[in-house]
Amino acid sequence: MAAKSNPRDTSSTNGKTEGLISLIENLNKNASFSEALGFIFKSFAPFVPYNYIGVALVKNGSSSLEASFGISDGTIKGLPEGLMNKQYNLSGTSLENILKTGTVRVINDLKSYVKGRPAKEYNNIILKAGVRSSISLPLSINDKHIGIIFFSSNQKNIYTDEHVKFLKAVASSIAISFDKNIFVNNLLYSSILALAKLAEARDGETGDHIFRIGSYCELICHLLREDSKYKDAITPEYTFNIKRFSPMHDIGKVGVRDAVLLKPGKLTEAEFEEMKQHTIYGAKVLRAAEDNILYESGRSLFGLGIEIAENHHEKWDGTGYPYGKKGEEIPLSARIVAVADVFDALTSKRPYKEPLSFDESLKIIIEGSGSHFDPEIVRVIKQNKDRLFELYNSLKTPS
């Protein structure tokens, strides 16, 4: 659908050449994908109207799109949460055509657009959220499809030819920025995750433990976000990152001697002191990884991972290690991982123990409220026992 011309808006990009050049230059200075999207959300407003920007990335060899990131100004309700991390089959859809042809799609009235068309989950979600018009901009580099970025408004008939011209002018720069950040993030993440798997393998783990922790952390984030106290702190991006970085919590075990790490009996006091250093080692590994590539930006790509690695053995009452932090001195990310880590350890079989039942494990978590664990996290888990049980069953390894 073609964009409508708006005589009142013909100067929206005229006289802003310097601003446009500056935007393109600064776009590539962002250290992470989410920072690049945040920069776009803050900086594109003089050129094109929107209340929400969402990004869907190509997955599975271009056969599907995954809603990966999104930012709202608060007037669009339920986004990006309603779409995040969901994959949608592209085959036979208008989105597939957008990617293949490089066509910019403008929807001036979403309600009218969906009438008479096959029902799509994502259309229902964005309509319910309050989106009324949108521009879908395909992102490609040569023949490589990166994804689609959506600029959405809560008003009908707001987008003009000038807005489309502006977005076409910056499309390749956005694609290059996103592609670079995706490549760097995935490369670093894969490398660090390989070390995390090595640490788990040395400790007698199967490797599934680190991924189960990510799923438990994701659920805890969703449960906490339903409480207004955490609405601002636990954003969809935060949830995405904690799921991504929680598997790295014990990466520092690569720095612990086998004689200590693999000792079958009780550790001596000196050996336990050495074991506790794995939290410090883990933070150092992650800091070194980002220092090797991000020294120019001064931003922390692995900030959440560093928090988790360094603090996940701290306890609410201050009796944990390595620093003896207590209460909210402990980063929220580490408090979440502490619960997920212990719960999964309790419910998992180890060479030295049989798994405890779901109820037994949950009882231990509840008993640790206010001493080992953050009482608020334990509260939301206890109140949503059925949801935890459902996830627990889905993650169980067949005997």
| pLDDT of res. 300 | 67
Phi-psi region of 330 (alpha: psi -120 to 50; beta: other; left: phi over 0): beta
Contact status, residue 96 vs residue 148, Cβ threshold 8 Å: no
Residue ending a domain, among 144, 178, 212, is 178
Q: Which of 178, 193, 228 is the last residue of a domain?
A: 178
Strands 105-107 vs 133-141: parallel, antiparallel or unpaired: antiparallel
Q: Is residue 236 part of a domain?
A: yes
Mean pLDDT of the chain: 86
**Residue 64 β-bridge partners:** 59, 89
Task: Report yes or no on 185 lying in a domain.
Answer: no
What is the spatial distance between Cα 235 and Cα 80, in angstroms, rounded to a whole number?
A: 9
**CATH no. for residue 48?**
3.30.450.40
- Answer yes or no: is 338 within a domain: yes
Nearest-CA neighbor of 133 among 156, 166, 115, 112? 156
**Which residue range forms the structural domain that includes residue 329?**
203-396
Residue 174 shares a structural domain with residue 320: no
**Statement to judge: residues 338 and 379 lie in one domain:** yes
Per-residue pLDDT tens for 31-76? Answer: 567 778 888 998 999 999 999 999 999 986 768 998 888 888 888 8
The answer on pLDDT for 8 being more than 70 is no
pLDDT at residue 13 tops 50? no
Pair (317, 379) in one structural domain: yes
239 and 130 within one domain? no
Q: Indicate whether 264 and 344 sit together in one domain.
A: yes
Q: Is residue 54 in a domain?
A: yes
87-89 and 52-59 as β-strands: parallel, antiparallel, unpaired? Answer: unpaired
Read off the amino acid at residue 361. S
Q: How confident is the model at residue 337 (pLDDT cuts 50, 70, 90)?
A: very high
Q: Which of 242-246, 341-345, 372-376 shows the lowest mean pLDDT across its residues?
A: 242-246
pLDDT at position 367 is 98
Of 243, 253, 315, 325, catalytic:
253
Other Cβ atoms less than 10 A from the Cβ of 117: the count is 9
Total domains in the fold of the chain? 2
- CA distance to 93, 139, 147, 183, 240, per residue, from 64 (Å): 10, 15, 10, 19, 19
Record the pTM: 0.70
> What is the model's pLDDT at position 7?
35
Which of 16-20, 90-94, 127-131, 200-204 is predicted most confidently?
127-131
Q: Do 235 and 172 share a structural domain?
A: no
Residue 4 has pLDDT above 60, yes or no: no
CATH number at residue 330: 1.10.3210.10
Q: Are residues 89 and 139 in the same domain?
A: yes
Asked if the structure places residue 190 within a domain, the reply is no
Q: What is the tens place of the pLDDT at every residue in 274-315?
A: 999 999 999 998 888 777 655 445 556 788 999 999 999 999
Q: Does some domain include residue 78?
A: yes
pLDDT tens column, 352-383: 789 999 999 999 999 999 999 999 999 999 99
Asked if 281 and 369 sit in the same domain, the reply is yes
Q: Tell me, yes or no, whether 106 and 168 share the same domain.
A: yes
Q: Are 270 and 336 contained in the same domain?
A: yes
pLDDT given at position 299: 58
What number of CA atoms fall less than 13 Å from residue 190's CA on the CB side? 6
> Which of helix, strand or coil describes residue 200?
helix
Same domain, 251 and 158: no
- The continuous run of DSSP H or E covering 387 comes out as helix 385-395
Query: Looking up tokens 């009438």, which residue turns up?
Result: 115
Q: Is residue 130 part of a domain?
A: yes
Are 223 and 353 in a shared domain? yes
The answer to the question of residue 10 being in a domain is no
Catalytic status, residue 253: yes
Between CA 274 and CA 262 the distance in angstroms is 13
